[in-house]
Amino acid sequence: MKKKAPDNIKEMFDQISSRYVLMNKLMTFGRDRYWRKQLVKFAEIKDGDRLLDVATGTGDVIIQAIEDGIQLKKSAGVDFSTGMLSIAKARLDVPEIEWIRADALDLPFKNSRFDAVTSAYLMRNAINIETALTEQFRMLKPGGKIACLDTTPPKKTVFSPLIDFYFLKIIPLLGALIASSKAAYTYLPKTTKNFKTADELKTMMIKAGFEKVSYKKYMFGTIAIHWGTKPYGKNNIN
């Protein structure tokens, strides 16, 4: 598989879509739901807000926000995988939520439409992280919040060999057994090792125009949630 080739990544996610939710639970020992709750918290989503979830996959973040009791207004989940979106719509089919096939680097909405923009595991697969961040900045109203959940390369510790063994051996084995795709779950863990550090992604978010950017790490430093704010009175970069 060519690294980050758009068609190949789309095909990969289409292939694993039916087992994606189960695999996330297994790989994270069920902690993925807690991270999504934290993501929703850091995005500061309120009743009546318009939420855009980019690379929504099977809709977990939007579903989490609704399960948390937030009453969303005309929100959207976008993804380029039709397989993922079909599952998202089957899980949650309500008038307030649109499931839209779209590219994270060219979002099909007018400027400043949303109160919050979230993403989970988007950035490590993005062809161009800068463009993805710029598009999310464009989507937000002034004062709106961005929150990104993604993997991050852990610092070297005494646990590093164990973490590497789990990511590079156990996860591909689970992928082969559960999702019938060892290749996909060999690729995905490798994106963690090759991705930006938490500090590097923070710097990129600031460069994209966000302020009050911070992050918090989880799961032995392999997961990070970044969040920030679109300043008032600042024009869109694009």
Query: At residue 1, does pLDDT exceed 80?
Result: no
Residue 79 has pLDDT above 90, yes or no: yes
Q: Does 237 score more than 80 pLDDT?
A: no
| Whole-structure pTM value | 0.83
Amino acid at site 66: I
pLDDT > 50? residue 4: no
Summarised one tens digit per residue, pLDDT across range 157-208 is 776 777 777 777 777 777 676 666 666 667 666 666 677 999 999 999 999 9
> What pLDDT sits at residue 188?
66
Pick the CATH number of 6-152+196-229 from 3.40.50.150, 3.10.20.600, 3.30.499.10, 1.10.1060.10: 3.40.50.150
Burial class (CB in 10 A: 0-12, 13-18, 19+), 106: exposed
Mean pLDDT of 80-106: 95
**% residues pLDDT > 70 (the chain):** 81
Does 138 have pLDDT greater than 70? yes
Would you give the DSSP letter of residue 18?
G
